Structure 1
Amino acid sequence: MSAVYALSTCIEWQFVEAGDLAQRLRAAKDAGFDLAEFHLWRDKPIEAMAAVLDETGMRLTSLCVDPRRSIVDPAERDAMVTAVRETIAATAILGKPNLIVASGFRVEGLSEEDHFANAVAALRAAADAAEEAGVMLLLEPLNTRLFATMYLVSTKLGLDLVEAVDSPNLRLLYDIWHSAVMGEDMAEVLTDRIHLVGHVQAADMPDRNEPGTGTLDWTEIMRTLRAVGYDGAIGLEYFPTMPMAQSLDQSRRMLAD
């Protein structure tokens, strides 16, 4: 049984027994991964990670723009674009991975129209920087269980923003777990819009663990991804509940054809 999609391990939460992120990359390669991803970069051993990537031929699918800044608060727009530019420069030695952007929190007293307009303006400026550098930005909707006042908690709204910015260097990160927490219908939100999605991440409900440990129907999820035409990688962004070898074996089974 072979996986339809290449799988990317989230070394932020996985292979932790191996040591720092450079050592986790080696462990991931030994476990059969060619792709990996992580979160914030400023406290990570970037140069050591770059050396491991060069040595092993592994590739990073994504990491987060650091520091996180709001796309909806105009007072943070310049800082947000600066964070994008600094992240692009600092992580170029990692092979120009995709860079994840979250929205930030709602601004009290701001209308829905102004939230949207501010987000588009900030994302356009950030996308311009990404285009100059040849880097892809990924806009990620989160969920209200984790962040009660987060602006972007809707896949549809996220896709609307990507569409409005209209840049080849901005796409959506579709996280199956965040979407499930928000009660979204996966087929409904992705059908005819999958060309706006640059990456998919997977974890089971309710506790963000391995696929197959919770309540989601992974056979149907994989069928839907194929039906809507997704052809990228799937990031395993979950907290393991079992030893890594067993955890990854289960994930590969759940996400296989």
Structure 2
Amino acid sequence: MPLKFAANLSFLYQEIPFLDRFEAAASDGFKGVEYLFPYEFEAAEIKKRLDDYGLTQALFNVAAGDFNNGERGLSSLTGREAEFLASLDQAIEYATELGCTRLHVMAGLRDTTVAEETQLAVYRNNLRKAAAVCEKSGITALIEPINTRDMPGYFLSNASMAAALIEEINHPNLRLQFDIYHVQRTDGDIIRQYQKLAPIIRHIQIANPPNRFEPDNGEINYPYIFDLLAAEGYDGWIGCEYKPSSSTRETLGWAREFLGAT
């Protein structure tokens, strides 16, 4: 099955303004885009770029609190439940306008002022609510384990914890965002992890350790992984959430066979 790659516009094409990155991605052959947050722009502005350049909005994040000052999500934070639900409503409004069916719900950092089990209970309850709310709009809420070397203190730090929560909540609109870069740094054994978790994976992201560069610049053998994903019939988007080691276009050699660009 042909693989589908989405340009992450928060990481790629940073040499040009954000709204110009849609055209750049389409020119390089991408059919989908993702990014961290759209909220500083009107949804209509982004929708026009998607329509103008024939792009699918693959994914973005629910607002994560005061991101610029270090917050990394609200869904596990005690006392922030109402703020989380308001941010979820905002994200669903944007997703509906943009035709996006996947939202990443960031967990937030470990709050050491409360017991871990207390924070986990808040997180579990908010994820149940998020899945139910998203279901009404035909959207899937995704959770993503993030390694704590890149994001110290992140509450959802490994794939086993994410899988256990998804199994426990048992809602079809709560699924896993499988970031190969984070899985490699946290657990390793990428192929076994993918095959074990494939039934609940609805989005994949890629970058190459140790520097989080493009897929052909680092320690992971991505051609092998891409062949396996195609052979096993993965039909979701693969988000290119990497830090280009030079200009974005110069780092797309690995992608030519997939994007059809020259």
Query: Structures share a fold, TM > 0.5?
Result: yes
Q: Verify the 8 A CA contact 1:116 1:161 in the aligned structure 2.
A: no
1:166 aligns with 2:166: no
User: What RMSD over aligned residues (CA atoms) do the two structures have, in Å?
Assistant: 2.4
* Partner residue in 1 for 2:70: none
Counterpart of 2:12 in structure 1 is 14
Runs of at least 5 residues in structure 2 that lack an aligned partner in the other structure = 66-72
CA change 1:217–1:226 in 2 (3 A) is same
- Tell me if structure 2 keeps the 8 A contact 1:34–1:57: yes
Per the alignment, do residues 134 and 45 of structure 1 end up closer, same or farther by CA in structure 2, a change over 3 Å counting?
Answer: same
Mapping of 1:106-185 within 5 angstroms? 106-108=110-112, 110-185=114-189
Matched with 1:65 is 62
Q: Distance in 1 between matches of 2:209 and 2:74?
A: 28
Q: Distance in 1 between matches of 2:252 and 2:94?
A: 30
Quick one: distance in 2 between partners of 1:161 and 1:207? 30
Aligned residues: 253
- 8 Å CA contact retained: 2:64, 2:74: no
| Contact 2:4/2:237 (<8 A) preserved | yes
Distance 1:140 1:175 in 2: 7
Secondary structure at the aligned position of 2:80 is classed as helix
Deviation at 1:158, TM superposition (A): 0.9
Q: Identity of counterpart residues, as a percentage? A: 27
Please, which of 166, 188, 203 is the counterpart of residue 199 of structure 1? 203
Which consecutive unaligned segments of at least 5 residues does structure 1 have?
none
Q: Work out whether residues 218 and 255 of structure 1, in 8 Å CA contact, stay in contact via their aligned partners in 2.
A: no
Give CA deviations for 1:101-133 in whole Å, capped at 9, x if unaligned.
111112326455444332221101111111112
Which one has more relative contact order, counting CA pairs under 8 Å at least 6 apart? 2
Taking a change above 3 Å as real, the CA distance of residues 34 and 254 of structure 1, as seen in their structure-2 partners, is closer
Quick check: 2:12–2:243 contact (8 Å CA) kept in 1? yes
CA contact (8 A) 1:163 1:196 kept: no
Deviation sequence 1:126-149 (CA, Å, 0-9, x none): 111111122121111111112221
Which one of 90, 95, 99 corresponds to residue 95 of structure 1? 99
Deviations 1:183-233 (A, max 9, x none): 432233232431211100000011111011111122332344356653312
Choose from 100, 104, 108 the match for 2:108.
104
